[in-house]
């Protein structure tokens, strides 16, 4: 029988009716059963978190950080099994999953160390014999709504600073990949985290999201997901004047100039566009190529894309796994039709794969598509403007660097952007002119580290940044003191 994974409220495992979590690489495989939470569960979690807050906030930063260190150590011991679970529930390749678990461990340890470096400041007063300073204080109960594409790392990078700052937490993971986040809960439980500090409720996003926003003890909401849902979260949470943090969509460009290292520019775009099945908010979905090398570059890009092996990510030698579910696969295939109807040229890929995979797997049992490259794309086409969140790459032609920058910025999103060039002056023009929060130079557009702020501009983000020292800003507030002596 398949294992049932309960919710976690007030330090107790809570059972109830369940829903299935199936492997997108082989839907015959039941990964597990997860308890389907209700609005009442959210209310119970909020009450538990509120009750636990004073004692948790009263601990020192290093004392709170010690629990993060313990959880990280436990996850490290379970690294291989957690990574295998992630591949089975999300579809990404096993090497990618192992990398994400490693990142989760590093995030927890990074923020654990921040417990000894809680930001504050002492400044001199204009008045005699007045000592004044400011220090950070927690908000209270915070709600975390996490996505399915990085089901361990994103929960970790929200949870770790929230706990470290002294808040208590309610987490609602994505319903299609809850097990990876559940493993983090398990680690904190085994680390002896006090009851009520961290609560975890799976289930319907609409039902639980609304309940989380309406729960009176909840002071802040951090959300990562689609623009549509993010806008709804903002509208509803604003009614209660909650603190809000949103990370949403992207339509990320990579500019390739004629002076770039050619082979590296091809490899970087293939990596950013197609690894993780293109299911990254920072993935390159538009590559803007200078006219002088357009034909040569497109030919090489298509050749490299055709070599990618699509199959079950748990097996060796696979580059690209399945889409997360049937709905995402349909979206991908719909955009293939849209691109062709708009007049773009489908240069390779775009097929729904139902044959035999590279390791003999039956692809008809999963949600597989051959990575697609479109040429002849113009900047106002839907495939150049709308987020697809799949392995579909649009190639656009630019007359020169200035034209490439104009095209790159002509979108409503501003999450990540990349440039491939050997010209240092162009690098700095790009860095200061690109309308995006995350920039890479001669690297893939996707792939961030936890030590620096993460977040976008325009429609991609709202509120304080995540990760690095900036993460503390969202989960805490300043208290300022003036002392006469």
Q: What is the DSSP string of 75-91?
A: HHHTHHHHHHHHHHHH-
Distance CA 406, CA 410 (A): 6
**Helical residues (DSSP H) of 225-343, grouped into ranges:** 227-238, 262-274, 294-306, 326-342
Q: Which token pair is 146?
A: 């996490």
The set of catalytic residues is 247, 281
Distance CA 183, CA 108 (A): 14
Q: What is the DSSP string of 345-358?
A: EEEE--PBP-SB-T
Lookup result for tokens 């008809």: 364
Q: What is the DSSP string of 201-259?
A: --S-HHHHHHHHHH-TTEEEEEEES-HHHHHHHHHHHHTTT-EEEEE----EEEEE-TT
CB neighbour class for 427 (10 Å; exposed up to 12, middle 13-18, buried from 19): middle
Distance CA 112, CA 192 (A): 15
Task: Sheet with 26-35: list strands edge to edge.
Answer: 4-5, 26-35, 18-23
């Amino acid at each position: 029988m398949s294992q049932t994974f309960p919710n976690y409220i007030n330090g107790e495992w809570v059972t109830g009716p369940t829903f299935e979590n199936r492997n997108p690489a082989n839907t015959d495989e039941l990964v597990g059963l997860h308890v389907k939470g209700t609005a009442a569960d959210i209310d119970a979690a909020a009450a538990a978190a509120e009750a636990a807050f004073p004692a948790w906030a009263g601990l020192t930063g290093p004392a709170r950080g010690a629990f993060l260190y313990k959880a990280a150590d436990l996850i490290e011991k379970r690294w291989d099994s957690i990574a295998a679970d992630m591949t089975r529930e999300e579809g990404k390749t096993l090497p990618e999953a192992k990398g994400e678990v490693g990142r989760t461990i590093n995030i927890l340890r990074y923020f654990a160390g921040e417990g000894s470096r809680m930001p504050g400041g002492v400044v001199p007063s204009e008045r005699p014999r007045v000592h004044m300073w400011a220090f950070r204080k927690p908000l209270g109960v915070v709600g975390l709504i996490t996505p399915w594409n990085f089901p361990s790392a994103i929960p970790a990078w929200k949870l770790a600073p929230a706990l470290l700052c002294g808040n208590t937490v309610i987490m609602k993971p994505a319903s299609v990949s809850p097990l990876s986040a559940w493993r983090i809960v398990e680690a904190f439980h085994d680390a002896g985290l006090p009851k009520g500090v961290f609560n975890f409720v799976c289930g319907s996003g609409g039902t639980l999201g609304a309940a989380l926003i309406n729960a009176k003890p909840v002071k802040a909401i951090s959300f990562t997901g689609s623009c549509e849902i993010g806008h709804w979260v903002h509208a509803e949470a604003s009614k209660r004047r909650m603190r809000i943090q949103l990370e949403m969509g992207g339509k990320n460009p990579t500019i390739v100039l004629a002076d770039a290292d050619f082979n590296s520019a091809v490899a970087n775009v293939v990596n950013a566009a197609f690894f993780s099945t293109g299911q990254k908010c920072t993935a390159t979905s538009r590559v803007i190529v200078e006219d002088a090398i357009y034909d040569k570059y497109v030919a090489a890009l298509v050749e490299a894309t055709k070599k990618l092996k699509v199959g079950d990510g748990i097996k060796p030698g696979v580059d690209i796994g399945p889409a997360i579910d049937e709905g995402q696969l349909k979206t991908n295939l719909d955009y293939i039709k849209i691109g062709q109807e708009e007049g773009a040229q489908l240069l390779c890929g775009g097929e729904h794969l139902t044959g035999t995979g590279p390791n003999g797997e039956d692809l008809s049992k999963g949600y597989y598509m051959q990575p697609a490259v479109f040429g002849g794309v113009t900047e106002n086409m839907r495939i150049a403007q709308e987020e697809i969140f799949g392995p579909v790459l649009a190639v656009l032609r630019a007359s020169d660097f200035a034209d490439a920058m104009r095209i790159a910025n002509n979108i409503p999103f501003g999450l990540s952007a990349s440039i491939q060039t050997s010209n240092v002056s162009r690098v700095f023009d790009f860095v200061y002119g690109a309308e995006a929060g995350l920039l890479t130079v001669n690297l893939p557009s996707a792939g961030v580290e936890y030590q620096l702020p993460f977040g976008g501009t325009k429609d991609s983000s709202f509120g304080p940044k995540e990760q690095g020292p900036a993460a503390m800003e969202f989960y805490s507030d300043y208290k300022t003191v003036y002392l006469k002596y």
